[in-house]
């Protein structure tokens, strides 16, 4: 049994859920529950190997520029500039000598380097050298260390369910091929059927217990597996969440947790429609979720209504969403389970959910037009926090902020709308990563619109030009730097509540804020922002926040439906 870090204890095993983890003492929202620093496996995805340090997982040249937050592919250098390649396998990269040395002692020098070199040489015989897929590399990291084989052996793997799962989710053959490949590359080509079967079992365990580190905004990717973290069960209404920074995973409370209460995290995106969540949980984790969100098919508004601590929003971009407004969201239809709205969302989800990454601006525009039309029932019901409508709005904001389109004012308006009308309901705690990243997007947009022409081009005939002029004029009347600065301060406050100081968003927000604060001639504005952060409930300070930040944000958000209709309407 793995040693558990302070903060958590082991629960009694359940016949339906297996092992579980309990809180060793009470925790408040945002608190650190436990820290995990000795993972079994932590690797970048194969597609990110060239630009990610294989030991500390730092990403090369990920800048704080607008592009890194707005382009869903991220802007980290794809060449891995600044990373040194291992001269043995020519595959793993490191940010410096210290990481290379540490990784060599930990795993690379214990057989991983040789295995990767064999794989490279083999692929060279049949074409350009290629790198092994991520799951095979994860498996190799285990196979070359007997102590990790033992640690993984204790994990849940559902090998039998995996073997007998119906098509098309049955990947048993792939698992066998991958296991044979890994055994070959670690120097055990003559493995017996028993060895192969045991290796497939390890693969199944890695699959069930892997944390995906993928974060397109930060250009992070990879797999993280820790044997203590692997004992935490799932709920679509979790009371905790995991943040992974480098080689460390930190478990935070999402809401207050009592001593002895089971800790539950979400393995998947909780805001997906129920059928999607069920499919994801069944395919990868082999269970049916019976949490309240799944049991009663609650939508995001219903879940939000039941969350405690909604008052934490008094220091956020939605202080006006008092308990009453959270509990009675401005929807055009009664929110009930199994109502037509819920069915619409389920039905239209598949045609609106594929990421638009990689498409050129004109094909993105065509897709967004189709998706905006498809989402009409949700727009009509004002169900802006329900997927796929939120996703379409986020994609539209990214589209307008992209270099080739460059309609920053439109992108800004839509991100304000998402922060105020979607994210606050989808993720009611203001320290959630989604909320903070949404605010960061607004902060970055503002830093740019304050210094650049608000819109570089217009479309949609006279109506489109008039709208662009209207948005541009509204923006011109706002103190965008003060708005941006205050938002960055909120980000820094909430990051400190529930994230680590190594979190990239925290660091980038700090950098951007220092830049804005050092601009000449802004002493008065700097003092006002500082006074608000020191005493947010003071009447002068509150009035400042309302007039200088909230009202302008609401004005910008108010253009969103007009922008969407002008750009993507029929
Ligand atoms: C990462 S492990 C969690 C720890 C696991 N209970 C164990 O004993 O190792 C994931 C597995 O736990 C079980 N599990 C997690 N959450 C569950 C839930 N809400 N309901 C039923 N089973 C759950 C499933 O078997 C799933 O494949």
Q: ipTM value of the model?
A: 1.00
Q: How far is the CA of 431 from the centre of ligand 1 (A)?
A: 27
Q: Which of 123-127, 240-244, 262-266, 289-293 shows the lowest mean pLDDT across its residues?
A: 123-127
**CB-side neighbour CA atoms (13 Å) of 20:** 20
Q: How far is the CA of 159 from the centre of ligand 1 (A)?
A: 14
Is the CB of residue 475 less than 8 Å from the CB of residue 484? Answer: no
Q: How far is the CA of 205 from the centre of ligand 1 (A)?
A: 12
Which tokens sit at 36? Answer: 């995990």
What is the rounded average pLDDT of the residues 77-86?
A: 69
Q: Which of 146, 177, 212 is the last residue of a domain?
A: 212
Beta bridge partners of 133: none
Encode pLDDT of 264-280 as tens digits: 999 999 999 999 999 99
Q: Which of 298-307, 328-337, 425-434 shows the lowest mean pLDDT across its residues?
A: 328-337
Minimal CA–CA distance to 217: which of 398, 371, 44, 42? 398
Q: Could you list the residue range(s) of the whole structural domain that residue 54 is in? A: 42-212
Q: In a mutational test of the pocket of ligand 1, which residue from 165, 234, 239, 264 has the highest number of ligand atoms less than 8 Å from its CB?
A: 234
Ligand 1 atom closest to Cα of residue 285: 27
Which tokens sit at 543? Answer: 């009035």
Encode pLDDT of 174-215 as tens digits: 999 999 999 999 999 888 999 999 999 999 999 999 998 877
Please give the helix or strand (H or E) that residue 252 lies within, else none: strand 248-253
Encode pLDDT of 513-561 as tens digits: 999 999 999 999 999 999 999 999 999 999 999 999 999 999 999 999 9
Q: Is residue 453 part of a domain?
A: yes
**The pLDDT value given to residue 63:** 45
Encode pLDDT of 141-164 as tens digits: 999 999 999 999 999 999 999 999
Pairing assessment for the beta strands 41-43 and 223-225 based on DSSP bridges: antiparallel
What is the rounded average pLDDT of the residues 350-374?
A: 91
Q: Is residue 37 part of a domain?
A: no
Q: 277-302 burial, b for 16+ CB within 10 Å, e for fewer?
A: bbeebeebbbbebebebbeebbbbbb
Beta bridge partners of 242: 251
- The alpha carbon dihedral of 476, 478, 482, 483 has a sign of negative
Q: Which of 212, 228, 254 is the last residue of a domain?
A: 212
Residue 367 above 70 pLDDT?
yes
Is ligand 1 within 6 A of the CB of residue 271? Answer: no
Residue 300 above 60 pLDDT?
yes
Q: How far is the CA of 209 from the centre of ligand 1 (A)?
A: 9
How many CB atoms are closer than 10 A to CB 558? 15
**The pLDDT value given to residue 341:** 78
Which tokens sit at 160? Answer: 């039998």
Distance CA 393, CA 547 (A): 26
Q: Is residue 223 part of a domain?
A: no
The verdict on 522 and 385 lying in the same domain is yes
Is the CB of residue 123 less than 8 Å from the CB of residue 90? Answer: no
The verdict on 204 and 306 lying in the same domain is no
336 confidence band (pLDDT: 50, 70, 90): low
**The pLDDT value given to residue 464:** 76
The verdict on 551 and 414 lying in the same domain is yes
**The pLDDT value given to residue 455:** 45
Q: How far is the CA of 364 from the centre of ligand 1 (A)?
A: 39
SS3 content of the chain, % helix, strand, coil (to 5): 55, 10, 40
**The pLDDT value given to residue 171:** 86
Distance CA 21, CA 232 (A): 6
Q: Is residue 251 part of a domain?
A: no
- Residue 222 phi/psi, 5° resolution? 130, -175
Is ligand 1 within 6 A of the CB of residue 285? Answer: yes
The verdict on 203 and 329 lying in the same domain is no
The verdict on 62 and 194 lying in the same domain is yes
Is ligand 1 within 6 A of the CB of residue 209? Answer: yes
Pairing assessment for the beta strands 41-43 and 32-36 based on DSSP bridges: unpaired
Q: Is residue 292 part of a domain?
A: no
Ligand 1 atom closest to Cα of residue 284: 27
Residue 459 above 70 pLDDT?
no
Encode pLDDT of 464-477 as tens digits: 789 999 999 999 99
Q: Which of 212, 240, 255 is the last residue of a domain?
A: 212
The verdict on 308 and 199 lying in the same domain is no
Distance (Å) of CA 155 to CA 40, 111, 149, 425, 435: 12, 23, 10, 35, 33
- Average pLDDT value over all residues in the chain: 90
Q: How many domains does the chain have?
A: 2
Q: Is residue 36 part of a domain?
A: no
Q: Is residue 25 part of a domain?
A: no
Minimal CA–CA distance to 198: which of 237, 152, 161, 239? 152
Q: How far is the CA of 495 from the centre of ligand 1 (A)?
A: 29
The verdict on 321 and 178 lying in the same domain is no
The verdict on 193 and 316 lying in the same domain is no
Q: In a mutational test of the pocket of ligand 1, which residue from 11, 12, 16, 18 has the highest number of ligand atoms less than 8 Å from its CB?
A: 18
Is the CB of residue 8 less than 8 Å from the CB of residue 24? Answer: yes
Q: Is residue 26 part of a domain?
A: no
The verdict on 395 and 526 lying in the same domain is yes
């Amino acid at each position: 049994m793995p040693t558990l870090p302070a903060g958590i204890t082991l629960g009694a095993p359940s016949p339906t859920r297996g092992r579980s983890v309990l809180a060793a003492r009470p925790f408040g929202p945002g608190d650190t529950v436990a820290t995990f620093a000795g993972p079994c496996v932590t690797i970048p995805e194969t597609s990110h190997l060239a630009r990610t340090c294989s030991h500390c997982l730092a990403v090369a040249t990920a800048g704080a520029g607008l592009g890194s937050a707005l382009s869903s592919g991220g802007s980290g250098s794809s060449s891995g500039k600044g990373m040194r390649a291992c001269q043995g396998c020519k595959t793993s990269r490191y940010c410096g000598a210290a990481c290379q040395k540490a990784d060599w002692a930990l795993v690379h020098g214990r057989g991983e380097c040789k295995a990767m070199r064999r794989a490279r040489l083999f692929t060279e015989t049949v074409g350009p050298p290629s790198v092994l897929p991520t799951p095979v590399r994860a498996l190799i990291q285990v196979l070359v260390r007997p102590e990790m084989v033992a640690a993984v052996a204790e994990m849940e793997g559902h090998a039998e369910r995996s073997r007998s799962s119906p098509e098309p989710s049955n990947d048993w053959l792939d698992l066998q091929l991958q296991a044979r490949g890994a055994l070959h590359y670690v120097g055990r080509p003559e493995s017996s059927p028993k060895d192969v079967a045991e290796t497939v079992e390890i693969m199944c365990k890695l699959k069930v217990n892997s944390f995906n580190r993928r974060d397109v905004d930060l250009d992070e990717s990879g797999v993280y597996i820790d044997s203590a973290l692997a004992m935490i069960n799932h709920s679509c209404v979790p009371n905790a969440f995991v943040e992974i920074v480098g080689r460390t995973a930190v478990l935070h409370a999402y809401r207050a947790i009592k001593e002895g209460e089971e800790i539950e995290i979400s393995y998947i995106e909780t805001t997906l429609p129920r059928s999607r969540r069920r499919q994801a949980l069944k395919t990868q984790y082999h269970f049916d979720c019976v949490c309240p969100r799944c049991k009663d098919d609650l939508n995001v508004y219903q879940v939000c209504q039941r969350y405690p601590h909604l008052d934490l929003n008094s220091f956020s971009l939605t202080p006006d969403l008092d308990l009453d407004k959270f509990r009675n969201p401005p929807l055009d239809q009664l929110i009930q389970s199994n109502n037509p709205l819920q069915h619409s969302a389920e039905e239209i989800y598949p045609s609106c959910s594929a990421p638009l990454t990689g498409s050129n601006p004109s094909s993105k525009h065509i897709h967004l037009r189709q998706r905006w039309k498809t989402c009409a029932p949700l727009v009509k019901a004002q169900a802006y926090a329900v997927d796929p409508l939120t996703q379409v709005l986020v994609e539209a904001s990214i589209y307008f902020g992209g270099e080739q389109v460059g309609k920053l004012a439109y992108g800004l308006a839509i991100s304000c709308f998402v922060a105020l009308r979607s994210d606050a309901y989808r993720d009611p705690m203001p320290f959630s990563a989604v909320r903070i990243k949404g605010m960061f997007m607004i902060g970055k947009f503002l830093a740019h619109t304050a210094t650049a022409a608000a819109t570089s081009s217009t479309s949609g005939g006279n109506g489109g030009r008039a709208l662009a002029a209207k948005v541009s004029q509204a923006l011109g009347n706002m103190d965008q730097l003060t708005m941006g600065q205050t938002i960055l301060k909120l980000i820094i406050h909430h990051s400190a509540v529930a994230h680590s100081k190594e979190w990239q968003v925290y660091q980038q927000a700090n950098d951007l804020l220092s830049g804005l604060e050092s601009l000449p001639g802004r002493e008065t504005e700097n003092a006002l922002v500082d006074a608000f952060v020191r005493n947010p409930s003071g009447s002068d300070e509150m009035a400042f926040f309302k007039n200088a930040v909230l009202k302008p944000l609401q004005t910008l958000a108010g253009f969103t439906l007009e922008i969407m209709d002008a750009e993507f309407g029929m």
